[in-house]
Amino acid sequence: MNGGNQRNLLWLQSGGCGGCTLSLICAESPDFLTAFEAAGINVLWHPALSLETGREVAAIIDDILEGRIVLDILCLEGSVMTGPNGTGKFHMMAGSGRPMKDIIAELAGLAQHVVGVGNCAAYGGITTTGGNPGEACGLGYDGSLKGGLLGKEFQDKHGLPVINIPGCPVHPDWVTETLSQVALGAMVPADLDGFGRPHAVSGTLVHHGCSRNEFYEYKASAEKLCQIGCMMENLGCKGTQAAGDCNKRPWNGTGSCISGGFPCIACTEPGFEEPGHAFVETPKIAGIPTGLPTDMPKAWFVALASLSKAATPRRLRDNATSDRIRVYPERRKKGGKS
Amino acid sequence: MSRLVVGPFNRVEGDLEVRLEVEGNRVSRAEVVSPLYRGFEEMLRGKDARDGLVIAPRICGICSVSQSISAAEALAAAQGLVPAPNGQLVTNIVHAVENIADHLTHFYMFFMPDFTREIYRDQPWFDDIAARFTALKGTAAQDILPPRAEFMHIVGLLAGKWPHTLALQPGGVTRVVSAVDVQRLLAILSAFRRFLQRHVFGCPLEEFSALGSLAELENWAGRHPHSQSDLRRFLHVGKALGLDRIGRAGDRFLSFGAYRNENGHLFARGLRDRAGQQRLNTGLISEDIASAWMAGDAPLHPFDGETRPDADMADGYTWCKAPRLEGRVAEVGALARQVVAEHPLALDMLEQNGGNVQARIIARFIEVALLVPAMENWLRAIRPDAPFIAHADIPVHAEGAGLTEAARGALGHWIRIEDGRIANYQIIAPTTWNFSPRDMDGQAGPLEMALVGAEVRTGEADPVAVQHIVRSFDPCMVCTVH
């Protein structure tokens, strides 16, 4: 670290959509500027937010490369473009005449910490779907395989791998909280899971806090989009397998994919971009979904599912294929007494 | 003659390089370079037709909803599906949130910080503008973030999250809206309207959108000190710097039409050039690759379009293809939408000065002032008891176009389905039009035209006039080449 209370952060973008920055701008209580200030993060340059352009940016990068500025945190948003044929010509950094991948690699070698913001920077993400025409990869991973631009052995100056904030896009709080922890020097290897994600983000499943939990419990399933039943059986929902606290800590106020009426596509997981089936369709073998809830033995799932299906109350069965609650809970006694 | 290469050009949603030839103290020729290629059109080929709704929005984090709408409309056209009326209303509301938020993000975070540059330190307005608009540290950024985030709650409630929702479907939306939801949404909107009126405009929205000429605008601006609102601040700076005299392109404006209603669109579809209003025939759109790093031959309509990247094309200088309408250049964006929609102030700006930096900014404010009341009407028109979505099967063989307007201009998706899968998918984004390179006839793209004549002051490496002109288009580089 650079000794003072301020930690220098440089944010770069390459093969992505900029949506993680746009999500970050939606941070609330506090907003991201306040969060950065409170964490002592000094933004050296951010492509969407900083004044400096052209030569002024080149000067900042030169200052880092030549040791005049300490780079505490390097953030990359978007995947690393290595194509065509490994040349990196799919993204030559404007004004530099050099492949962006080379500039990223040089800076990563100097940074105290390296953070992949979003699934593209972490694993390659959506940019690698459909045969990966751009030869894109993540900083520390190529899909779910270790490696990526920086190689399998990469460690930062403090023995950490690339810190990966997952999501497509990221939740703003995942960014502000992770970066605050890094800026405080409080991030240690044990805080990260096997894909470099902070346990704080990946330690919960999207399923936790799902507003459709009762439908899930009874396997009362939606058959089409805009129906309020569980979306796991037919509509491809991966909430029971995907990292994230999306249903405990909502998005944009009160939102989440599932409360918005569409399935979780596991955008926090490496490889989500190639599910091997249509995103909104659940692949099945003999009527049983092939993707089972995390940690659940198949036989138990099948047994429990058939039992709960048999026990499904009419209220849930009817509501599951409706676009809104048609059958209300029946109150047997007044005052909530049993 | 001297040459300048400006880049990385930031606050443009992605990466951008601008190559300039300078004679005397003026730009004599410009080449616009889009340096990033990801290959979405290649990725989409062979996918399940429905997967376009997941993949295409991820082209862009700032136009994500617009991308969703184009993808959904292209699929709906292929399916022959008419959306449920409630679904259309919710789609319009979500779309309007994105476009209004984008206009404000552009103004506050991308465009205005350039007026805080050292080169303007001696200007009488400098201290006020620097305190307000300095990047990351000015009071405006701090003031705008909380109300903007709260405004986005409308998307959170209706569509789960922003960006990259999957709620916008060919037949409508995936979540019904109850009568209680409508009241909550109206309340969020009313808080946002109050913020706009108090800090951004400094007047009721209807007062601003009713202005019918530049003379009326000037009169309006003079009614209060310029520090009374951020729009008045901009008009003051714009007048001092003559921003209405720079950045003119070809004055041929194209809009695909935005926010569908029973009469077509709230903002009309059409073409306006110096001869007046014209009918738009989208069958005459083609993409030229003469200056792109793309293999291929003659310009093609997007239904037949190809995307074959080739980094070694000798005549290429960008990954961006050059979309043309009837073989000619068109400018897109809020100004294009408002002149095609025949807003009197937009027409008067065009009449008096042609397209320019200031007119492009003012057109965005006209839109914000028009859209908030439109959103209020759409919310009240929702019938909570009626369906929000219609369903249809994916056809075996079909094609469809989805044409809409992102904040920064006309956006089109063209899909061809064979055996239920995507056989071809072509996208033309707003900045593909505006930042297109030269075509086979040597016609420069709109930005390349707009930069000619821009002032380059002695010693300037990244000329500030070039910064203003580039950002006046509100470019989105990640859309430009996808």
* Per-residue model confidence as pLDDT tens for chain B (482 residues): 999 999 999 999 999 999 999 999 999 999 999 999 999 999 999 999 999 999 999 999 999 999 999 999 999 999 999 999 999 999 999 999 999 999 999 999 999 999 999 999 999 999 999 999 999 999 999 999 999 999 999 999 999 999 999 999 999 999 999 999 999 999 999 999 999 999 999 999 999 999 999 999 999 999 999 999 999 999 999 999 999 999 999 999 999 999 999 999 999 999 999 999 999 999 999 999 999 999 999 999 999 999 999 999 999 999 999 999 999 999 999 999 999 999 999 999 999 999 999 999 999 999 999 999 999 999 999 999 999 999 999 999 999 999 999 999 999 999 999 999 999 999 999 999 999 999 999 999 999 999 999 999 999 999 999 999 999 999 999 999 99
Q: How far is A189 from chain B (nearest CA, A)?
A: 31
Which CATH code is given to the segment(s) B2-480? 1.10.645.10
The 3-state DSSP class for residue B238 equals: helix
Query: Cα angle at A317 between A313 and A320, to 5 degrees?
Result: 135
> Which among A94, A250, A262 is the nearest to B35, CB-wise?
A94
Find which of B3, B36, B158, B481 to mutate to test the A interface (most A CBs within 10 Å of its CB).
B36
- Interface contact flag, B55 A126, Cβ < 8 Å: yes
Angle between helices B214-221 and B344-353 (to 10 degrees): 100
Strand partners of residue A75: A11, A115
Inform me whether the C-beta atom of residue A124 falls under 8 Å from chain B C-beta atoms. Answer: no
> Which among B5, B38, B153 is the nearest to A15, CB-wise?
B38
pLDDT digits (tens, 9 = 90+) for A202-237: 999 999 999 999 999 999 999 999 999 999 999 999
Closest residue, chain A, to B149 (C-alpha): A26
Inter-CA distances, B60 with A126, B8, B65, B90, B297, Å: 11, 19, 9, 21, 28
ipTM exceeding the 0.85 mark: yes
Compute the distance between CA of residue B28 and CA of residue B249 in angstroms, rounded to an integer: 14
Instruction: State yes or no: pLDDT of A298 exceeds 90.
Output: no
* CA nearest to B4, candidates A62, A55, A57, A89: A55
> Which among B14, B141, B152 is the nearest to A33, CB-wise?
B141
Q: What is the H or E stretch that residue B64 is in?
A: helix B64-79
Residue type for position B179:
A
Q: Would you place residue A294 in the very low, low, confident or very high pLDDT band (cuts 50, 70, 90)? A: confident
Is the separation of the CB atoms in B434 and B333 below 8 Å? yes
- Interface contact flag, B61 A94, Cβ < 8 Å: no
- Interface contact flag, B174 A225, Cβ < 8 Å: yes
What is the per-residue pLDDT for B6? 96
Compute the distance between CA of residue B69 and CA of residue B72 in angstroms, rounded to an integer: 5
How many CA atoms lie within 13 Å of A45's alpha carbon, on the beta-carbon side?
A: 23
Instruction: State yes or no: pLDDT of A1 exceeds 50.
Output: no
* Residue B303 burial by Cβ neighbours in a 10 Å radius (0-12, 13-18, 19+): middle
Compute the distance between CA of residue B270 and CA of residue B339 in angstroms, rounded to an integer: 10
- Interface contact flag, A18 B6, Cβ < 8 Å: no
Find which of A45, A51, A81, A325 to mutate to test the B interface (most B CBs within 10 Å of its CB).
A51
> Which among A94, A96, A260 is the nearest to B9, CB-wise?
A94
Which CATH code is given to the segment(s) A7-201? 3.40.50.700
Quote the pTM value.
0.98
B292 contacts: CB under 8 Å, gap ≥ 6: B313, B316, B318, B319, B320, B321, B322, B437
Q: Would you place residue A301 in the very low, low, confident or very high pLDDT band (cuts 50, 70, 90)? A: confident
Give B8's contacts in chain A (Cβ within 8 Å): 47, 53-54, 57, 93-96
- Interface contact flag, A226 B388, Cβ < 8 Å: yes
- Interface contact flag, A46 B160, Cβ < 8 Å: no
Inform me whether the C-beta atom of residue A151 falls under 8 Å from chain B C-beta atoms. Answer: no
Instruction: State yes or no: pLDDT of A3 exceeds 60.
Output: no
- Interface contact flag, B161 A13, Cβ < 8 Å: no
Residue type for position B127:
D
> Which among A129, A169, A251 is the nearest to B160, CB-wise?
A251
Residue type for position A331:
R
Q: Are strands B168-169 and B172-173 parallel, antiparallel or unpaired?
A: antiparallel
Average pLDDT over residues A117-145: 98
Give A22's contacts in chain B (Cβ within 8 Å): 61-62, 64, 105, 162-163
- Interface contact flag, A94 B17, Cβ < 8 Å: yes
- Provide CATH 4.10.480.10 ranges for chain A: 204-325
Instruction: State yes or no: pLDDT of A2 exceeds 50.
Output: no
Find which of B41, B45, B58 to mutate to test the A interface (most A CBs within 10 Å of its CB).
B58
Compute the distance between CA of residue B183 and CA of residue B187 in angstroms, rounded to an integer: 6
Inform me whether the C-beta atom of residue A91 falls under 8 Å from chain B C-beta atoms. Answer: yes
pLDDT digits (tens, 9 = 90+) for A156-203: 999 999 999 999 999 999 999 999 999 999 999 999 999 999 999 999
Give B382's contacts in chain A (Cβ within 8 Å): none
> Which among A87, A257, A280 is the nearest to B161, CB-wise?
A257
- Interface contact flag, B61 A22, Cβ < 8 Å: yes
Three-state SS sequence of B263-295: CEEEECCEEEECCEEECCCHHHEEEECCCECEC
> Which among B43, B62, B161 is the nearest to A18, CB-wise?
B62
Compute the distance between CA of residue B300 and CA of residue B304 in angstroms, rounded to an integer: 6
What is the per-residue pLDDT for B450? 98
- Interface contact flag, B8 A126, Cβ < 8 Å: no
What is the per-residue pLDDT for B279? 95
- Provide CATH 3.40.50.700 ranges for chain A: 7-201
Q: Residue A140 carries which DSSP code?
A: S
The 3-state DSSP class for residue B96 equals: helix
Which CATH code is given to the segment(s) A204-325? 4.10.480.10
Inform me whether the C-beta atom of residue A257 falls under 8 Å from chain B C-beta atoms. Answer: yes
Give B71's contacts in chain A (Cβ within 8 Å): none
What is the per-residue pLDDT for A336? 58
Q: What is the H or E stretch that residue A13 is in?
A: strand A7-13
Give A102's contacts in chain B (Cβ within 8 Å): none
- Interface contact flag, A91 B160, Cβ < 8 Å: no
